[in-house]
Amino acid sequence: MHADDQVGDGVPADLAALLREVDDRPVRISASACGDCGGRTFFVHFDEVEGGVRRDCGACGGRAFIADSAEYWEEAEPCVAECPCGCDEFEVAVAFSLTGDGSVRWVTVGLRCQQDGTVAVCADWKISYGPTDHLLTMT
């Protein structure tokens, strides 16, 4: 872990460790929670090429995009995340790699399978604009 890393409440330790490995810059890692019901497990749609993720709450079906994914979703060709065990419901955490001034430069989305606990990164993408503070709340 980097001395300036911040890991939010509710992020499983194994998922935080995986997300920490992605970049050598300080990261802020946040767990996803449904804004409608507070649910913490999701069905995940992602695009590795465009770099975007949409999560659908497993409890209420509420949909949300992670970071700036909505801006690129029309061009996306999303896949549905599925664990090798066949499960398609996940805990989701987002790592924001930060520059020296605290700007977001990279977004990485990690998943933890609800059935067997497997962790994996489903998508990551670079942020090439500023300001970026608003992204930190879009998990």
- This prediction has a pTM of 0.94
Residue in this structure with the two tokens 């980097």, named with its chain if needed: 2
Is the confidence at residue 17, as pLDDT, over 60? yes
Q: 65: closest CA among 52, 82, 49?
A: 52
pLDDT tens track for 42-87: 999 999 888 899 999 999 999 999 999 999 999 999 999 999 999 9
Q: What's the confidence (pLDDT) of residue 3?
A: 58
Residue 19: its H or E element: helix 13-20
Is the confidence at residue 26, as pLDDT, over 90? no
109 close to 11: Cβ distance less than 8 angstroms = no
